[in-house]
A = this chain, B = another copy of it.
Amino acid sequence: MPKIVDAEARRQDVVEAVFRIIASDGLERASLREVADEAGLAVGSVRHYFASSDELLVHSFSVVVDRIAGRLEEAFTVVESLAVGSAEHDAAVLTLLGQFLPLDEELAVDACVWMAFRHAARIRPVLEQEAARSHRAVAAVVGRLVMRLMPDGGSVQERLVSEAERLLATLDGLSMHALLQPEWMTAEVCRDVLTAHLETLVAVPSNR
């Protein structure tokens, strides 16, 4: 039999090389040659594990989507295990929302890569499917969270979707600003914005 190499682990190495390149030089520099160099391989070797450049990028996209969705699900189970309104619950919610933001090195790379792929998916049809999957996964968690936090339990369908979208937009906007204008955006401002938003979520059902 042949040389035994853990193919899946090798693929993962290559994917992480892709992540590093996207984070530092952008998606357009993630060519086969650059990726191979970054991974310490030859172009032919990378192409042994990924049939084409498109397959490499699509797979990389799916990996980052899985990572983010996994973190969100995990953080949400923590939230579910706590009593609504308790201090621990509020902290867990903030932790959950913090998964969207580039608060440490690993989160920053993921946020950066995720953002790059989502924007690329607008143009490149091969990425469309993963982009839709990513949107569904994130919207599901945010939707459940909003349902849990809203005073009336999100009984009004119409208001639920608009509040979910409002939270999601704020999160993506914050993440984007933190990536693009880091000099104007501190972790403290992020936290303040999130807590302010949460107050507006649990507070006013008011008229409407």
Q: Which of B131, B169, B203, B204 contacts A170 (CB 8 A)?
A: B169
Is B177's CB under 8 angstroms from A172's CB? yes
What residues of chain B lie closer than 8 Å to A172, measured between beta carbons? Answer: 172-173, 176-177
Is A180's CB under 8 angstroms from B123's CB? no
CA distance A81 to B196 in the complex (A): 29
Is A115's CB under 8 angstroms from B119's CB? yes
Q: How far is the CB of A19 from chain B (nearest CB, A)?
A: 15
Number of copies: 2
Q: How far is the CB of A202 from chain B (nearest CB, A)?
A: 11
Contact (A162, B189) CB under 8 Å given A122-B26, A173-B168, A173-B171: yes
Contact (A180, B28) CB under 8 Å given A163-B196, A166-B197, A169-B193: no
CA distance A203 to B184 in the complex (A): 26
Residue of B nearest to A163 (CB): B196
CA distance A59 to B203 in the complex (A): 46
Is B192's CB under 8 angstroms from A199's CB? no
Is B173's CB under 8 angstroms from A169's CB? yes
Is A179 positioned at the interface, with any CB of B under 8 Å from its CB? yes
Is B135's CB under 8 angstroms from A181's CB? yes
Among residues 106 to 161 in chain A, which have CB atoms less than 8 Å away from a CB atom of chain B? 115-116, 118-123, 131, 135, 139, 158, 161
What residues of chain B lie closer than 8 Å to A26, measured between beta carbons? Answer: 120, 122-123
Is A25 positioned at the interface, with any CB of B under 8 Å from its CB? yes
CA distance A171 to B193 in the complex (A): 14
Q: Which of B28, B181, B196 contacts A28 (CB 8 A)?
A: B28
CA distance A204 to B192 in the complex (A): 15
Is A200 positioned at the interface, with any CB of B under 8 Å from its CB? yes
Is A72 positioned at the interface, with any CB of B under 8 Å from its CB? no
* 7 further A-B pairs in the complex, CB-CB below 8 A; given A165-B177, A166-B196, A176-B176: A119-B180, A139-B184, A165-B189, A166-B170, A168-B173, A173-B176, A203-B204
